[in-house]
Chain A
Amino acid sequence: MITLENVSKSFGKNQVLKGIDLTVNKGEVVAILGPSGSGKTTLLRCINHLEKPNKGKIKIDNFQVDFSRASKAEILSLRQKTAMVFQQFNLFKNKTVVENVMEGLIVAKKLPKEEAFKKSVELLEKVGLGNKLNSYPVQLSGGQQQRVGIARALALNPEVILFDEPTSALDPELVGEVLSIIRKIAKEGITMIIVTHEMAFARDVANHVVFMDEGVIVEEGNPKEIFQYPKEERTIQFLKRFSEEEMYYI
């Protein structure tokens, strides 16, 4: 179980996160929605300390970190318990596809090379890229690169996988292949936090939806509650921006 307590973050004078509290249960798929600037990506990046919060605590099962006094070892531990799938994929340019997936296993999990290789090939086949093992990222399409990114995250067997707008940088026709992989993983019970703009997808895949605006969590609940019966005015306004057909009945 992952708990965020009173997480705040400012960039200069701009306070982007205003005391966020969030609980994610094991196996849950949480979708975080909200307009640009709401702080949702910043919140995600605070979880694996790519952004340093000014205040707050995070607890993953029995492991707790106080962000205002996080030590280097604690940060490293935090990063080893989490994995991230990036909007810009960020595959290691100087490594092949299979090496990309192996990197974390060899370096952070200290697995022997053969074992890491086997596991990586398995996962790459799972995401449908078993035939691209020795290609370099520059030779792949965006959708393919993102799938490698997902395989790389899966390989680490983390407590939670963080998805930072995984399909926002993709051409429309490539979005589907990535979403179907994410859907597949969701069914396997892996804890996931997804920041996304894909409303229909969020509604489909998530079992908990969080709506953020201006640095606070405005409303959260299961998809039915949020999409069909939103309570807060801001939530209603935000959802209205998407066409009426989007809000079908579950």
Chain B
Amino acid sequence: MKLDLSFIWTAFIQILPAIPNTLFITVVSVFIGFLIGTFSAIVRIYKVPFLSQIASGYVTVVRGTPMITHLLIIYYSLSMLLDSLAKNYHLPFNSASIPMMVFAIISFSITAGAYLSEVVRAGITSIERGQIEAAYSVGMTTTQALKRIIFPQAFAISLPNLSNTFIGMLHGSTLAFIVSVVDINAKAQIVASTNWKFFEAYIAAALIFWGITIVIEKMTSLLEKRFSVFSRGGVK
């Protein structure tokens, strides 16, 4: 079987419609994950009793297990839960009526949340104690101090890690094919098996991911430059 380079282009075009799916899943999961992660980071930093232990456990377990296990466990257990609730309470819907993408997003959010919790936590704790003391000494409340002084600095410091986590979730979203979501990966498989040109189709998919990743990296660089003005800087 000879390599059909022109098919790479054809495959590329055919895979294109799946890109929004992939991006949608990634962005939503990272967003929800960020909320979960920030909440869990704060709870751990302030050592809120009971909640902080749960948060630590959550982070350790999720980070210590592969993403595919999260997806499989969430999918099967939520489906079963939903079905038994539907049966007992005579609800009009059951697990089959929920789009697969929802399961994927829920699972990926949980995964992202654990990794982002570490990123946020590291960002916040790396801010010197003196900054928050100064904020208190001019009369700010904790909330004001966090919002005006700590978070902006933590965000700037965390940018590389945030970006890496986003890229990681982008790549991880390829697992969605397991729950029959047609993302870039699934589309590539379809195109490949329909045309019996596997290598070419996957090259196209790889190039698409590579391209998106590079764009994100460049954007992150730009963002970093904007925010680093107060952490690097001229003279001293």
A residues engaging B (CB < 8 A)?
Answer: 48-50, 76, 79-80, 82-84, 86, 88-95, 103-104, 107-109, 136-141, 152, 156
Contact = CB atoms under 8 A, between A and B. Distances in A.
B232 A138 contact: yes
Given A76-B141, A88-B128, A104-B138, 17 more contacts: A50-B137, A79-B137, A79-B138, A90-B134, A91-B134, A92-B134, A93-B131, A94-B153, A95-B230, A136-B230, A137-B230, A138-B230, A140-B235, A140-B236, A141-B236, A152-B138, A156-B139
Interface string B134-146: 1111111100100
A83 B138 contact: yes
B49 interface: no
A46 to B, nearest CB: 13
Contacts of B235: 139-141
Contacts of A91: 134
Contacts of B133: 50, 84, 86, 90
Interface string B94-138: 000000000000000000000000000000000010110111111
The 8 closest A-B pairs by CB, nearest first: A108-B139, A104-B138, A90-B130, A90-B134, A80-B139, A84-B137, A138-B233, A136-B230
B158 to A, nearest CB: 13
B59 to A, nearest CB: 27
A152 B135 CA distance: 11
Contacts of B153: 93-94
B233 A79 contact: no
For chain B, the bracket of interface size reads 20 to 34
A79 B136 contact: yes
26 contacts: A79-B139, A83-B137, A83-B138, A84-B137, A86-B130, A88-B130, A90-B133, A91-B134, A92-B135, A92-B148, A93-B230, A93-B231, A95-B149, A103-B149, A104-B138, A107-B148, A108-B138, A109-B139, A136-B229, A136-B233, A138-B230, A138-B231, A138-B233, A139-B234, A140-B236, A156-B139
Given A107-B144, A136-B230, A138-B230, A92 B131 contact: yes
B156 interface: yes
Contact of A48 (B137, B231, B236): B137
A48 B137 CA distance: 7
A23 B137 CA distance: 21
B230 A108 contact: no
A24 B231 CA distance: 39
A103 B144 CA distance: 10
B57 interface: no
Contacts of A92: 131, 134-135, 148-149
A202 to B, nearest CB: 22
A243 B206 CA distance: 75
B152 interface: yes
Contact of B139 (A94, A104, A140): A104
Nearest to A152: B138
Nearest to B132: A90
Given A90-B130, A92-B149, A108 B137 contact: no
A103 B148 contact: yes
A107 to B, nearest CB: 5
B152 A94 contact: yes
A219 B154 CA distance: 45
Nearest to B150: A94
A104 B156 CA distance: 22
B156 A76 contact: no
A156 B140 CA distance: 12
